[in-house]
Chain A
Amino acid sequence: MNRRSFIRLSLLAIPAAIAAYLLLNFDKVVKRILIADTQSLKVPDEAIDRFLNEAKREHFWNKFSFSKKMFICVQHFFSSLGIKLKYHTKYVQYRSMITGQFLLSTDFFLNKMDPSKDVTYIGFFNPYKTGCSNPFSSLRFTS
């Protein structure tokens, strides 16, 4: 292998290795996101782990394609360094979906987002099993 080929291969291999590492740590990234996003709330320690276990059981992360998971991991890595990459706004949306799914699995929204109340984990949010489940609608709020 000549020097040029080696450099080319390295240029491909290094990002691929970083990507693979990040992807293998998708669960950890999700956990870090949830801990960061709920730090101001009274969430018991075990709630996030329970959520992550149930998310796995519900194949929930199937809703996130391989490339989407990769995207979240890479964006999260740079975002935690204070660097906003291109398409950061998409990352914001995906992150909101993850945190939203967690909080919907608790009584936080049912308590009208009151940060002074203890947050109780209810069970993995599944709108097919729980009808009338939009906590923001006219059923629970007068607009």
Chain B
Amino acid sequence: MHYDLIVVGTGFASSFFVKKFLEKSSPTVRVLVLERGEYIPHQKRLQDARSKPLGEVSYVSGGQAGVTYKNNNPEKAWIFDPSFGGSSNCWTGCTPRFMPNDFELKSKYNVGIDWPLSYSDIEPYYCETEDIMAISGPEVTPYPMSKKYPQPAHELSTVDKLLQREYGELYISQPTARSSISNKRNKCCTSAICHLCPVEAKFTIENGFKKDLYADPRIEIQYQAQVVQLDIQQNVVRGVQYKQNGQDKKATADLVALGANAIFNAHILLNSGDTNVHTGKNLSEQVGYYAYIDLKDFQNVGGSSIITANGFMLYDGAHRAERGACIVESHNDVFIRYEEGKWRNIAKFKFVFEDIPQATNKVERSADPLIPQLTYTSHSDYVAKAYTHLKDNIGNILKTLPIENIYLDDKYQPSEAHILGTARMSKDAASGVVDKNLVHHQYRNLFVLGGSSFPTITPSNPSLTIAALSLRAADQLH
């Protein structure tokens, strides 16, 4: 069977691309979507979690991601959900936009490389993505917005209100795909297990697209179909080879879009003979550290679910010439202090730093064509300098709070669950793998979507930007 378009994966990158592609296409167009996992309905995920002892419930409910790759660094975790909807099933719904200068790190601060597109290029697609996801967010933001968030902001906690008083527009109610009002989804009721929202308040590919987009008769979707490589002749992608239930299969198409994560996009390219020197390199993600702050005679209550606010006071500025930007997450799960009468006199923050990708951290082929091999040594010194600055100044940064004690972790989290880099965007093939429209520099009928395209690793959560980039990429097609 020949298709107009073959899409690999069903996560944010693929699904938003398919949505825009179909909007622009004729009623006769044919699209094949290949999903390596199964379709596991949200209700089944919840039932599974409820039927297990609590200690056996894992963060990812769509299968074991860890068996899909070889990891040379067991201390470094790579978290994703290998099933229909991808990591929309386990994300917490955090959707801050990137800051304008994130796209111009080299020009502004002489660090990393610039993205080949600007904030204004992506801004209309941020608006469209926020509408589709029905994002809740504040009226005042540290980044420019041509359109208000479709849903009102979630309430701030008592701690957040003090910090907002100090930092103004640099400290905001977190923009989020967790509904603040009942609209397309249920209203968030602060369960604080947003990776598997019990009331379906969070946007997922399933609740956003399964019943309409994926029911479009122009789409054929196949499950348990893992794409191994592309068929390429004279720099034109003719189709894909995939494995389904142990059988080798092939399909051909005029256009192919890789929308797997940054591990598997790169792996498919490497299996296909892509010789771009950047393919597979720069595997990266942000680096996060938790801090607990004991508060003197002050209760931290109110606020919404899991992460109530984002602080941008350590984000953009001249310091980025030396050390990484940081986004602050104010957490609101069920943490307490064990001291009598001070049970909730405590705040919990996560400080998430951007990293400069390093070529030594990479995805490579292994002896098994289905299993990539990951080498990750460490994040860069850019992060280490930013952490040291935080350690030296955290008391001053949070001085508006009635601080009793500060406990800043000295060990970073094993993962931020954002896999990025490996097929980066650039102006030309010498400095990256895909162009600003996410089209491969060498194979001009191949899109490489998703977090693999990020040239630099901003501190903000990437999913909103991944979706917006996919809408934009499909919109460039004629």
Contacts and interface: CB of A to CB of B under 8 A. Distances in A.
Contacts of A138: 154-155, 157, 190, 302-304
Interface residues of A, number: 43
A128 B303 contact: no
A75 B260 CA distance: 44
A137 interface: yes
Main secondary structure of the interface of A (DSSP, over half): loop
A136 B159 CA distance: 12
A136 B49 CA distance: 23
Main secondary structure of the interface of B (DSSP, over half): loop
Contact of B56 (A39, A62, A93): A62
Interface string A121-137: 00011111101111111
A131 B332 contact: no
A67 interface: no
A62 B52 CA distance: 13
B337 A62 contact: no
A137 B302 CA distance: 4
A143 B332 CA distance: 13
B198 A127 contact: yes
A142 interface: yes
Contact of A59 (B55, B160, B292): B55
A123 B155 CA distance: 29
A44 to B, nearest CB: 18
Contacts of B304: 137-138
A37 interface: yes
A8 interface: no
Nearest to B408: A89
Given A128-B54, A138-B304, A143-B302, A133 B192 contact: yes
A58 interface: yes
Given A60-B54, A137-B192, 13 more contacts: A58-B55, A89-B407, A92-B407, A95-B338, A96-B337, A127-B193, A131-B198, A134-B192, A134-B334, A136-B301, A138-B155, A143-B155, A143-B158
Interface of B: 46, 49-50, 53-57, 154-158, 160-161, 189-193, 196, 198-199, 292, 300-305, 332-341, 343-344, 346, 407
What 6 A-B pairs have minimum CB-CB distances, sorted nearest first?
Answer: A143-B302, A59-B55, A132-B189, A137-B190, A62-B55, A141-B301
